[in-house]
Structure 1
Amino acid sequence: MALHQISIALPDGYRSSDVIAFHGRDAEGVAERVSQGRISKGVVLGGVPVALDIALSPREARIGVAADAALTPRASALLDDALLNILGLRIDPAPFVEAAASDPLLGEAVRGNAGLRIVQSATIFEALTWAIIGQQINLSFAIALRRTFILQAGRRHSSGLWCYPEAEDVAKLSVDDLTTRKFSRSKAETLLRLSQMVDAGSLSLERTDDIDAASAALLAVKGIGPWTVNYALLRGYGYPDCSLHGDVAIRTALQRLLADDAKPDMARTEALLAQYKPHRTMAAAHLWATLS
């Protein structure tokens, strides 16, 4: 087993509790375990199962990296990328806070929650598959399906922690492997179709991809729609200007802030969010936060 330590400086006002809450959504987590000031996360990177032990202090994250094989240059780059995602360091919230602090609609919420950050999934593939799994079902059921998905397709690290799979791992499954575990046939087919395309190299999930081209390529995959793409851009790519106008929770938050009798429709929601360009991702985060 390859072991090493990484230290990452954290910005002033960093809210570790938000990061721990995001990664601790599954109380029975098999690939994530959280405790006070600490996150354990398992993920396959470049074909290597890796267990991360992340200790958070007010100014620093100290990460123990335990890899079950020597990390290739590709896997090391994926590790560095994953840590920025896991710690919510991909998008700087300050520009949005400065731009929206006096906004008549969101200003009060922004001023009261200025340290809010977007925490992300470790990899783009994890964010995208989670979006597919969670579509049109309640959160508790989605979390249970995600756990099943990890146990079926993931790999177990030598420490016992399960690791979220890569496309290569998922591509080996059959539709029946998933449908017999409470996945709908459409979800199962979409997950396998996506994974097989990524594994074969016909679909790229690289952070360096042009966002417009990446979005178009994802939309061309049967079973993937605009909401799934925008969620993947937000939680995977770390794109700062996602328009989540198709998200029901965003529309509910706007309804409350506007004191309207009904949720705004998608067209009006899109127009309302447009005023926050190029920071619509952070606008969505603050809208979600008003509901909690």
Structure 2
Amino acid sequence: MTRFNTHVEDHGTHVTIHTPDPFSYQQVVAYLNRSENECLHRVDGATVYKAIPINTEIAVMAVSNPTPSRIEIRLLESGGCAVSDALLAAARYVWEWFDLDANLVPFYQLATGDPVLKTLVTDYYGLRLIGVPDLFEALCWAVMGQQINLAFAYTLKRRFVEAFGTRTTVRGHTYWIFPDACRISELTPSELTALGFTTRKSEYLAEIARWMRRGAITKQGLLALPDLESVVDALTDIRGVGKWTANYVAMRCLRHRSAFPIDDVGLHHAVSRLLGMNQKPTREELGVLFAPWHGYEAYATFYFWRHLLAPEY
């Protein structure tokens, strides 16, 4: 969070974030609006609404884009916290959620001379890698998405959140906070299989929750590790977390730019479509394709994922 303080202005009733270039709020909203079954934020026109936890309370924010270079954050509910504290927490959340600390200039310079990346950054100019700031949520979401299509993954997430999460209602809309690890660690497998999870995934989610509850894995601890390999090794010690899941979490929660979920089905699908391939690329072909983009594998992957949302597909 090296640049946060110099980009935020507190206006008392709202805060303004001056966004770094390149940035497109429209591209961010398009990605956030990719599923009608999303339950952890709401998109209405060009405004994004989301609840965030502040200590033991829940605040609800409205995020908008009054000018191309500014994000405005207002509170619908401060959750019993001082408004100034809640606004600052909301701004920090959005800064991390939208990956505004990332310097994308080198990535875009690289893309300018690359025929594949040039197409992606031209079509989705200013898109940031939308994150999952909470480690437990990121791990659970990755496990939920293992070996199923995205639509069903969203269905499972909604059932999970509405069964075990925390909610608040503001101005006629209900907002949810992702379930707490302590709560999930106490569940029996049958309570999760009743929602449509397989027995194995139910066991994985409970195992992750137990690791989180006892502090055996923490976001702070993972961020302190020296490199991506160390992060992947630490995460894959958890039952149910393989290399794909570990790289996904490293990419979307821990912000490792070189994280590369090479076995991701959506990535294979996007690459084959963009390149006009008759079949999915092999791991070897993906390795060759991504080799010139070393250090930016996470962003390249995310732009390929965004390509799957294009209207022509």
The interval holding the TM-score normalised by the smaller chain is: 0.7 to 0.9
- Structure 2 gaps of 5+ residues are 1-11
Q: Describe how 1:243-258 pairs up with structure 2 within 5 A.
A: 243-258=260-275
Distance 1:112 1:24 in 2: 17
RMSD between aligned residues: 2.8
| Post-superposition CA distance 1:187-242 (Å, at most 9, x none) | 11111111111111111222633243332111111111111111111111121111
Paired AA for residue 198 in structure 1 = M
Closer/same/farther in 2, CA of residues 45 and 250 from structure 1, 3 Å limit: same
Distance in structure 2 (CA, Å) of the matches to 1:21 and 1:113: 10
Matched ranges for 1:28-67 at <5 A:
28-57=37-66, 58-65=68-75, 66-67=77-78
SS in 2 for 1:157: strand
Question: Unaligned regions of 5+ residues in structure 1, if any?
Answer: none
Distance 1:46 1:154 in 2: 15
**Are residue 120 (structure 1) and residue 131 (structure 2) matched?**
yes
Is 1:132 aligned to residue 143 of structure 2? yes
Q: 1:286 to 1:256 in 2, by over 3 A?
A: same
Alignment of 1:101-250 (within 5 A): 101-157=112-168, 159=170, 160-206=174-220, 208-210=223-225, 211-250=228-267
Q: Report which stretch shifted further, 130-139 or 203-212.
A: 203-212
Of 237-246 and 263-272, the range deviating more from structure 2 = 263-272
Matches of 1:4 and 1:196 in 2, distance apart? 40
Moved more, 278-287 or 179-188: 278-287
Distance 1:251 1:77, change over 3 A: same
Query: How far did 1:260 drift?
Result: 4.1
Shift, 1:97, TM fit: 1.1
* Distance in structure 2 (CA, Å) of the matches to 1:253 and 1:27: 21
The structural deviation recorded for 1:50 is 2.9
Cα gap change, 1:64 to 1:78, in 2 (>3 Å): closer
Amino acid at match of 1:149: F
Q: CA deviation at 1:68?
A: 2.7
What is the alpha-carbon distance in structure 2 between the residues aligned to residue 22 and residue 287 of structure 1?
Answer: 12
Shift of residue 28, structure 1, vs aligned partner = 4.5
1:262 matched to 2:279: yes
Q: Secondary structure at the match of 1:186?
A: helix
- What is the SS of the residue equivalent to 1:161? strand
Give the counterpart of 2:97 among 86, 94, 110: 86
Give, in angstroms, the shift of residue 46 of structure 1.
4.0
Percent identity over paired residues: 26
The answer (yes or no) to whether the contact 2:22–2:104 under 8 Å persists in 1 is: no
Alignment TM-score, normalising by the size of structure 1? 0.86
Kept after mapping to 1: 8 A contact 2:27/2:126: no
TM norm structure 2:
0.81
Quick one: distance in 2 between partners of 1:112 and 1:158? 37
Q: Deviations over 1:249-271 (max 9, x none)?
A: 32233334554443222133123
How many residues end up aligned between the 2 structures? Answer: 288
Paired residue type of 1:60: R
